[in-house]
Amino acid sequence: MTSNGPNAGISVRPAWPGEADLVLQFIKDLAEYETLCHEVSATEDSIDLALFSAMPKAFCEIAEFEGIPAGFALWFYSFSTFRGKHGIYLEDLFVRPDYRGKGLGKAMLGKLAQRCIQEGLARLEWSVLDWNTPSIEFYKSLDAQPMDEWTVFRVTDEPLTRLAEAAP
């Protein structure tokens, strides 16, 4: 996705094998922005396995500005039982501060929207931290709708282990 006009210099491409280090750096940059560095336990090996194994479970787009990697979108397929179709869940979207405002975030979301349309997927969805006003305003400018009536729940680490051990 390269063009003249407002998207000049922007391209979006899949992450390539051998780029686990780049993807991990984007993850660390995002964690720093969100003040969540203490939660990052991903490694180059775990990213490599997730994205580039024979049967990957996650996918990644890299946004470049004038050939320089400037952002990433990490996603996976979800499923809507009500619609009976898959969708895309965008786990993370990040653009490095020096490249914000150039259209890279919109270009990555547009690329994922194209995939949804081409594959007949039901939706593109993601979560955003409630304090992240710039991102919320950006998403609203794209006519994305907040799902205020939903609360995200998560089980990790020891509670996940206890839950697994309690299963029959």
Cα 57 to its chain centre, rounded Å, is: 13
Q: Which of 33, 89, 99, 139 is catalytic?
A: 139
CA distance linking residue 141 with residue 134, whole number of Å: 11
Show Cβ contacts of residue 98 under 8 Å, excluding neighbours closer than 6 positions: 70
Phi, psi (degrees; rounded to nearest 5) at 31: -60, -40
Q: For residue 77, indicate whether it is catalytic.
A: no
In DSSP terms, 86 is beta-bridged to 79
Show Cβ contacts of residue 106 under 8 Å, excluding neighbours closer than 6 positions: 138, 142
Active site amino acids: 139
